[in-house]
Amino acid sequence: MKSESVISLLKKLSDKEISSVELTQSCIGEINTRNSEINAFISVTAESALINAAEADRKRMSGEPIGALNGIPFAVKDNICTVGIRTTCASRMLEHFIPPYSATAVSRLTSAGAIIIGKTNMDEFAMGSASDTSFFGAVKNPLNTAYTAGGSSGGSAAALAANTCAFALGSDTGGSVRQPASFCGLVGMKPTYGTVSRYGLIAFSPSLEQICPITKNVADNALLLELMHGRDNMDESTLDRSDSLIPEDSVVKGIKIGLPIKLLDTVDADISSAVLGAAECLRAAGAELYECEFPDTDAALAAYYVISSAEASSNLSRFDGVRYGYTASGAESVDGLFTKSRTEAFGDEVKKRIILGSFCLSHGAREMYYEKALAAKIKLRRDCEELLKKYDAVLLPIAPSAAYPLERKSADTLEHWRNDALCVIASLTGLPELAVPFGKTAGGMPTGVGFMGRAFEEKLLYKLGLAIEEGGVKYD
């Protein structure tokens, strides 16, 4: 099944060229071969996956009604709840947590017949962009294990790039699906805020995050988002969207695309070349390209870290050693139990963000940072609305570089956080952004580009993605 898309596998299953058991066994074989090297999975559910695969085959053979994804194995980021399957958030705090329910996004996929094959590694509580803050160790890029797979959904991207599943779910708060997808030569979509239910996603920053599909191609991504999206009474922020997200074609003639050319001065030459190459490809296909300005990425980055850390400090206060997760021993008071449990179970990055968030919400600092960040968020939304009145979409880099060697990660927190600067605008504004692979670096690692569009216009972004997929340099 190497490099096969979901749609191609569905056809083979339908034509009885392969069975779901064979497909699942193939994925388990790849996990057994690759996971010790890339550390993409925290938990593997081989036994239940094979049982579910056999049931999927039985249904198909007997002619019973089957779902759109019957027999397709997939991996789930370990901050997305799966009933009866350990869900750790890559943290010692939730090392043994088994959820009593599944996230709505997962339930919709399993109801369509998809089969969970395992839970993927990530940055602890999704805080990071290199998948190296995990309690379970760093994820490595399967395309070159000396390189990062990106983060925080690095395990999901690595699992898919290593052909251990047919697709994967991640969560994106400030680029956590788009960047690892880009680093691993895959497609990742952060849809408009409210498109996919967050019910069952363990909260880090609920005003920003969405559960997102990571796939091998654009058509798969559209199919999966179509199956996951929609109103959920368990998440009041979800939207009742009746529109189809699947593009009918890849015709881009007449589509107006803004290209924030000055941004290209801030990224590596390989990334700049990829964006310009994608622009050329779209122009050749009939799209109209225009140079444009782009909102201030420094202000967006500051607002993002203030807001997300503030929300994290509030959301993670529930982990107190009593109601959830790890409980420290030897505490002499209840207050001491809270502090000891949290101190022993949270990693360094999580502690840093909790403290930053608590500071941003504290008396005096709240007005200086938190409230100003909220105002900046409103301003960014207006700036993007103005921009997207002129253009149907904006073509931009996803990250300043392609995947980098693990040891090259900056020890300086602010410098490392700057890697998120290009993704956080779509996060803060709630707008959809699609990451699509396009070309390679001189060193052979995949490069990717992004399309940011108007709210609810995922279909148009998929159309643009299809167009560059057809005209681009595929990463194998």
Partner 1 sequence: MNKQFFDIQKTAHLSRLSLSTEEQTRMSEEISRFAEFADILSELEIGGTCTEGAYSCGTRGDVPCVNRTELTDLTDGERIYGEYIRVPLTVEEE
Per-residue mark of binding to partner 1, 429-448 (x: CB under 8 A): -x------------------
Q: Which of 268, 320, 327, 409 binds partner 1 (CB under 8 A)?
A: 320
By CB under 8 A, tell whether 298 contacts partner 1. Answer: yes
Helix axes 218-228, 458-471, angle to 10 degrees: 160
Helix axes of 348-360 and 297-315: crossing angle, nearest 10 degrees? 100
CB 99 → partner 1: shortest distance, Å? 23
Which residues are CB-neighbours of 81 under 8 A, at least 6 positions away?
A: 87, 99, 101, 102, 103, 106, 200, 201, 202
Of the candidate residues 315, 400, 401, 456, the single one contacting partner 1 (CB under 8 A): 315
Q: Is 307 helix (H, G, I), strand (E, B) or coil?
A: helix
Residues 356 and 347: their CA atoms lie apart, in Å, by 14
Neighbouring residues of 203: CB distance < 8 A, sequence distance ≥ 6: 209, 311, 315
Site residues (CB under 8 A) for partner 1, limited to 134-193: 193
Minimum CB separation from partner 1 for residue 465, in Å? Answer: 26
Spatial separation of the C-alpha atoms in residues 39 and 339, rounded to whole Å? 31
Structure tokens belonging to residue 93:
């705090």
Looking only at residues 326 through 385 of this chain, which bind partner 1 when binding is defined by CB under 8 A? 338-340, 342-343, 346, 348, 351-352, 354-359, 361-369, 371-379, 382
Question: Are the beta carbons of 78 and 136 closer than 8 angstroms?
Answer: no
Closer by beta carbon to partner 1, 11 or else 318: 318
Q: How far is the CB of 108 from partner 1 (least distance, A)?
A: 22
Measured from the CB atom, is 35 or 171 closer to partner 1? 171
Residue from 5, 134, 152, 427 carrying the catalytic annotation = 152
Contact status, residue 123 vs residue 231, Cβ threshold 8 Å: no
Contact (CB, 8 A) for 133 and 78: no
Annotated catalytic residue within 5, 19, 77, 309: 77
Indicate the burial class of 185 (C-beta count within 10 angstroms; 0-12, 13-18, 19 or more).
buried
> Does the active-site annotation cover 176?
yes
Beta strands in 146-217 (DSSP E): 167-172, 187-190, 210-215
Q: How far is the CB of 351 from partner 1 (least distance, A)?
A: 6
Site mask, partner 1, residues 216-245, x = CB under 8 A? Answer: ---------------------x--------
Nearer CB in complex with partner 1: 146/378: 378
Query: Rounded to the nearest whole angstrom, what is the least distance from the CB of residue 347 to partner 1 in the complex?
Result: 12
Residues 39, 18: Cα–Cα separation, whole Å: 28
Cβ contact 422:450 at 8 Å = yes
Q: Nearer Cβ to partner 1, position 59 or 366?
A: 366
* Span of 76-84, 165-173, 297-305, 400-408 interacting with partner 1 by CB under 8 A: 297-305
Number of residues that bind partner 1 (CB under 8 A): 57
Q: Cβ of residue 316: shortest distance to partner 1, in angstroms?
A: 9
**Catalytic status, residue 152:** yes
Residue type, 378: I
- Minimum CB distance to partner 1 smaller for 345 or for 466: 345
Please tell me whether residue 86 binds partner 1 under the rule CB under 8 A: no
Q: Is 266 in the site for partner 1 (CB under 8 A)?
A: no
Shortest gap between Cβ of 76 and partner 1 (angstroms)? Answer: 25
Q: Which burial class, exposed, middle or buried, applies to 105 when counting CB atoms under 10 A from its CB (0-12, 13-18, 19+)? A: buried
Residue of the chain from 111, 284, 413, 443 that contacts partner 1 (CB under 8 A): 413
DSSP E strand boundaries for 39-186: 41-44, 73-77, 115-120, 167-172
Cβ proximity to partner 1, 116 vs 126, nearer residue: 126
Measure the CA angle with vertex 214, ends 213 and 217; round to 5°: 110
Q: Which residues are catalytic?
A: 77, 152, 176
Q: What are the residues binding partner 1 (CB under 8 A)?
A: 193-194, 207, 237, 296, 298-299, 301-303, 305-306, 310-311, 313-315, 317, 320, 338-340, 342-343, 346, 348, 351-352, 354-359, 361-369, 371-379, 382, 413-414, 417, 430
